[in-house]
């Protein structure tokens, strides 16, 4: 059975380089190797740090296309964003008026 990490990170014992073993950090969404000791698996499950799964990595969410914070963009970036989105703006406008024009066009 495969186990996926739910917590931000878990540290588990696993095989590294040949027959050596070490404690390795696994980040959220990672699938734990099959050789993690059963005692650790049981402890992680009991604390809700991992879940049983099919072994496939956690799907990454698609970035939202409109997830741009206009307040963080300078004039050049605002003009580039307007061009990218096909929004016609007066290139002489200041940053505040560019932000307003982009928001209005969307």
pLDDT in tens, 3-36: 999 998 999 999 998 889 999 999 988 999 999 9
Closest CA to 45 of 77, 94, 7: 7
Is 72 inside any structural domain?
yes
What pLDDT, on a 0 to 100 scale, did the predictor assign at position 106? 77
Which structure tokens are listed for 79?
A: 């003009």
What pLDDT, on a 0 to 100 scale, did the predictor assign at position 60? 56
The pLDDT of 71-100, averaged and rounded, is 91
**Are residues 66 and 44 part of one domain?**
no
Residue 64 pLDDT more than 50?
no
Is 75 inside any structural domain?
yes
Asked if 78 and 106 count as a contact pair (C-beta separation under 8 A), the reply is no
Number of structural domains, the chain? 2
**Are residues 88 and 47 part of one domain?**
no
For residue 82, give its domain range.
61-100
pTM here is: 0.51
Average pLDDT, the chain: 86
**Are residues 68 and 41 part of one domain?**
no
Task: Compute and round to an integer the Cα radius of gyration of the chain.
Answer: 24
């Amino acid at each position: 059975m495969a186990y996926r990490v739910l917590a931000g990170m878990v540290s588990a014992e696993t095989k590294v380089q040949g027959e050596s073993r070490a404690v390795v950090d696994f980040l959220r969404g990672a699938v734990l190797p099959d050789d993690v000791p059963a005692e650790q698996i049981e402890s992680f499950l009991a604390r809700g740090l991992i879940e049983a799964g099919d072994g496939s990595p956690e799907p990454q969410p698609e970035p939202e296309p409109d997830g741009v914070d206009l307040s963080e963009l300078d004039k050049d970036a605002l003009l580039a964003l307007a061009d990218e989105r096909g929004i016609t703006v007066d290139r002489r406008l200041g940053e505040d008026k560019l932000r307003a024009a982009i928001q209005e066009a969307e």
